[in-house]
Structure 1
Amino acid sequence: MRLIAINSLQPGMKLGKKIYNEDGIVLLSENAEINDAIIRRLRHHGLDYIYIADHRTDDIQISEMIEETTRRRALNELRVNFKKLMEPAMKGVAYPYLGKTFSGLVESIVDDLSSREDAMIMMMNIDSMDHYLYRHSLNVCLYTLLLGQVYGYSKEDLTLLGLGAMLHDIGKTKVPRDVLNKPSQLTDEEFAQIKQHTEIGFKLLKDEPGIPLKAAHCAYQHHERINGGGYPRGLKGDEIHEFARWIAITDAFDAMTTHRVYRPAMLPHQALEVLYAGCGEWYEKSKLELFRDHMAIYPVGMTVDLSTGERGVVAKIHKAIPHRPVVRVLTDPDGVDLKSPYDIDLSNRLSVVITGVDGTKEAIK
């Protein structure tokens, strides 16, 4: 199984993993044969990459950050509960189900992540057509919890951190849909409406039973920046809660690596470069370095070009040096398929580097 850009799909290829629609229902099953109509449909729904079956890569293991059952449960809870919040509510109405529902869910995610010793931050926006808000909320929760585990937070703090991360964008349930999903540039007035989601989220969460105030502050502060250039209050440095400073990084990363109506998704190496442009100004250097060291910059299964002119698939990631993976070489420098593909370990072949990634026009710097 390998990962391929939608623009590189060819009729006759077979799907490697299930694809789900916005309601969590299987849209396409494994081994479904790809045709032109399916390619158009996938492109229409905003998918940039999918897994395809390839006998040359059958032994490559694509590990998930959490169990598929946990992931589907989380997306379903986000979908059901956020849709309730999107409905008009009477003034003063509370949402007492939020704390109970999401605290238990976060604990399950913490348990899943704890059972994976070598877990790394992986691209999660591949095989699902779920609404952006639901996927984004789960992904930010996963990425932030993994960083929190590596950082050494207790299980109690991890549950708080995960709850704040999962609900950080809950205020967007009260932003008009036509503004939130606008495919063109926002007006100043529309952008001001979007920015209100931080304060709305805080107000939704701060008095909820089972929602600690720290989690509410994650919704309030995740767009603050350490140089004071964020919103809504222009907080600086340690004025911003530590949990919100983690979420600022994971929120930005997931937003950049997710397809949106107004732009295609970036790949991890591209998003990391953008994040580092804000190092020391928007994001803490130490937190950004920890994020970098635990991110799969070239996801397992991704098609890559090598400086030798050959092309292959990332077969394994070295946790200590994720930017120097093992690559399964599939074609020679002339683009001819090899009769006997072979693995090259870039961690000990320092003269060979990755120069390009499938789906991007730019070369790797």
Structure 2
Amino acid sequence: MRLISTKVLQTGMVIGRTIWNEAGRPLLQKGVNISDHSIQRLQQLNIQYVYIDDKISTGIEIKEAIPRELRQHAVNHITSSFNELKKLKGKDVTYCLDQQSKHFAAIIDDLLDNIIKSKEILTVLTDAFLYDNYIYHHSLQVAVYAIAIAKEMHYNAVEIRQIGIGAILHDVGKIMIPQEILKKPERFTNEEYEIMKMHTKYGFDLLRNLHTISLLSAHCAFQHHERLDGSGYPRGLLDFEIHPYAKIIAVADVFDAVTSTRVYRKKMLPSHGMEIIKEGSGTLYDEKVVNAFRRCVTYYPNGTCLLLSDGRRGIVCKQNREHIERPWVRIFQENGEVLKATYEILLAEQLDLSVEKVEVEYLEQVE
């Protein structure tokens, strides 16, 4: 299968990967021939990319580190918990969070168990899962990335658990932000932005009073928007003042934010999101965290069509754990002509080659 923009989808193309809605039911099943109505529906839902099956991508698959059932269970629990918290005030919120914390901890344990056991590099799943509220899916994704980073940095199990809980609850303070601001499709006014920034303090105040959650996890909510150069918020902390856990969640948070569809902008491909993180390494984000993150998340997911610097085109067919930026590529086009027989190359072994462009709108050969 390969990744393709919904802008260039055509009737008759075959869906290569099931798209699931927020209820965990299939919106479009793998193997279905797409219709004009389905294309319009996908575009209305603001789905930017889907996987299709065609001749040049036969046999290319994506293996997930996190099972779909666990992902759905986690998002459902985050959704119900946050919605319940929104209805409460004062001590009732604290009591409810205390009661819910053991469920969040269990989710983190399951995620950690799967990430430790899995040999798969984490893959950004484009639009394979659709959720009505960005915050809920974002909370899960940040937890997944944060756990993977912490594991790569050799934190112990207790520390990774604290980081994971801090990550999955890093935006809990947003339950106290007015919905008209959270879901505003335009740029915030200065006043609205100041209100939005308060979610970090609200989250810290909610979590630090809990008996069941570490104060270190609470600091993840408080500090995940702080930056090494002091340009972050809420307190403008500098490098040495920011807790190491918060430095991990800062990277996970930004990467997921830019690679997810938001009400005010479209998502970026993983390679573009990673470039943003790399550009901030050492000034905004901790360099050790960034390097660890680069070792555990795909730049170019399997199925991504690439234009190489020598003019050849290929599809990423296998990841290269030793050098994630330079995966295995199935070459299907040379000198502008589609080959009768494809072949594979490992970019890490051909350092004279570089990726010129990610081509999610390539349409020359569709079977």
Q: What is the TM-score with the length of structure 2 in the denominator?
A: 0.92
Distance in 2 between the 1:122 and 1:238 partners? 31
Structure 2 equivalent of residue 191 of structure 1: 193
Counterparts of 2:279 and 2:39, CA distance in 1? 35
Alignment-mate amino acid for residue 351 of structure 1: D
Give the C-alpha shift of residue 137 in structure 1: 0.8
Task: Return closer, same or farther for 1:191/1:284 CA change in 2, 3 Å cut-off.
Answer: same
Q: Give the structure 1 partner of residue 17 of structure 2.
A: 17
CA distance in 2, matches of 1:291, 1:190: 32
Deviation at residue 315 of structure 1 after TM alignment: 0.5
2:288 corresponds in structure 1 to: 286
Give the gaps of 5 or more residues in structure 2.
363-367
1:5-84 alignment to 2 at 5 Å? 5-84=5-84
After TM superposition, give the deviation of residue 354 of structure 1 in Å.
Answer: 1.6
Which whole-Å CA distance do the structure 2 matches of 1:352 and 1:245 have between them?
34
CA distance in structure 1 between the partners assigned to 2:129 and 2:102 by the alignment? 26
Aligned residues: percent identity?
A: 36
Q: In the TM superposition, what whole-angstrom CA distance separates every residue of 1:68-110 from its partner, at most 9, and x where no partner exists?
A: 22111111111211221233x2332131332111001100110
Counterpart-to-counterpart distance in 1, 2:185 and 2:80: 25
Q: SS in structure 2 opposite 1:347?
A: helix
* Amino acid in the other structure paired with 2:86: M
Q: What are the residue-to-residue correspondences of 1:156-167 with 2, within 5 Å?
A: 156-167=158-169
* Deviation at residue 360 of structure 1 after TM alignment: 8.1
Matches within 5 A, 1:207-226: 207-226=209-228
**1:120-159 residue pairs with structure 2 within 5 A?**
120-130=121-131, 131-159=133-161
* TM-score where L is the length of structure 1: 0.93
Q: After TM superposition, give the deviation of residue 55 of structure 1 in Å.
A: 4.5
Name the structure 1 match of 2:172. Answer: 170
> Measured at CA, do residues 357 and 208 of structure 1 come closer, stay the same or move farther in structure 2, by a change above 3 Å?
same
Contact 1:140 1:254 in 2 (8 A): yes
Aligned to 1:227: 229
- The reply to whether residue 115 of structure 1 matches residue 117 of structure 2 is yes
1:90 corresponding residue in structure 2? 89
Question: Aligned partners of 1:264 and 1:360: how far apart in 2?
Answer: 16
Give, in whole Å, the separation in 2 of the partners of 1:252 and 1:332. Answer: 37
Matched, 1:2 2:2: yes
Q: Is the 8 A contact 1:175 1:194 kept in 2?
A: yes
Map residues 292-303 of structure 1 onto 2, 5 A cutoff.
292-303=294-305
Matched residue, 1:313: 315
User: In structure 2, what residue type is equivalent to 1:305?
Assistant: L
Distance 1:356 1:141 in 2: 30
Does the Cα contact within 8 Å between 1:202 and 1:216 map onto a contact in 2?
yes
Q: After superposition, give the CA deviation of every residue in 1:222-259 in whole Å (9 maximum; x if it has no partner).
A: 01112222111122222211100100111011101111
| C-alpha distance in 1 between matches for 2:102 and 2:243 | 23
Whether the aligned pair in 2 keeps the contact of 1:120 and 1:295 (CA below 8 Å) is yes
RMSD: 1.8
Give the deviation of 1:26 after TM superposition: 1.9
Query: Is the Cα contact below 8 Å between 1:218 and 1:247 reproduced in 2?
Result: yes
* Equivalent-residue separation in structure 2 for 1:213 and 1:183 (angstroms): 34
Partners in 2 of 1:53 and 1:269 — Cα distance? 22
Cα distance in structure 2, aligned partners of 1:330 and 1:133: 39
Change (3 A) 1:300 1:177: same
Q: Aligned partners of 1:42, 1:132: CA distance in 2, in Å? A: 17
**Total equivalences in the alignment:** 358
CA distances 1:189-238 after superposition (whole Å, capped 9, x unpaired): 11111111111111222222422111111111101112222111122222
Distance in 2 (CA, whole Å) between partners of 1:164 and 1:360 is 38
